[in-house]
Amino acid sequence: MRLATWNVNSIRTRVDRVMAFLDRENIDVLAMQEIKCKPEQFPREPFEAAGYELAVHGLNQWNGVAIASRVGLTDVETSFPGQPTWESASLGGAVVEARALGVTVGGQPAGSTPPPAPDAAAPACAPVRLWSLYVPNGRELTHPHYTYKLDWLRTLREDVAAWLSEDPGLPLALVGDWNVAPRDEDVWDMVAFEGATHVSSPERAAFVAFEQVGMEEVTRSRVTNYTYWDYQKLRFPRNEGMRIDFVYASAALAARVRDAAIDRDERKGKGASDHVPVIVEID
């Protein structure tokens, strides 16, 4: 199974690039963040024509997460238990934002478009419980959104601990835009981030805490690169980027990961997202 995560920064704007990426990289499952649309606005036709099932969660033109799978897609959840709320004027009060989407993928042969007959020789992909995550930004260290971000990560970690306690063999993946640069090497210049979010000690501790409940970040040991470059100040040409998109896997799933890649070239050209895809190869 080739699984990718990508903050697409508006799926309606970038659907052609997304479809080209899926074809070029032979992706079986794509977790998307910042789709910036409601489910009825999502451009389903190209995905469905290419053999992908879709789960889409969006409330308005902000945030939003989606998952496309050509190896099966079941058991959809649009939030994790206890997911913190945020006050939204446009949505009329405190809401659980569209920042988390859980599904089970697998059960069909990888690369099956459309799915083959039941007696096909191709082996089925073993299931994976997958969450596409768009972690809150935090904005500023003194902003309420920063506290919201830390609460969001803490609650998710507690839920993960409970899931793995109940089922230690659960093949679980938490993927997406974490909005945390957990190490100094994950930003181009720590001086430029002094007093800013994404690199603060509480955020980094909240990110690393997932290791303490049995998760492993499976891309860092296999690939080194940034995953995000701001549109401003020529950040990409100067390679002034950040590494904030990650894949956390449970022990059962981490044992099945064989390779990882960051598609840096996807940041090039007209109409690029400010993030690039992160890909993992899973047995």
| 145 annotated ligand-binding residue | no
Answer yes or no: is 151 a known binding residue: no
| Residues taking part in catalysis | 134, 177, 275
34 labeled binding residue:
yes
Task: Match 């970038």 to its residue by tokens.
Answer: 14
Q: How far apart are CA 142 and CA 124, in angstroms?
A: 49
Q: Tell whether 179 is in a known binding site.
A: yes
Residue 177 labelled as part of a binding site: yes
- Binding-site annotation: residue ranges for Mg(2+): 7, 34, 177, 179, 274-275
- Binding-site annotation: residue ranges: 7, 34, 177, 179, 274-275
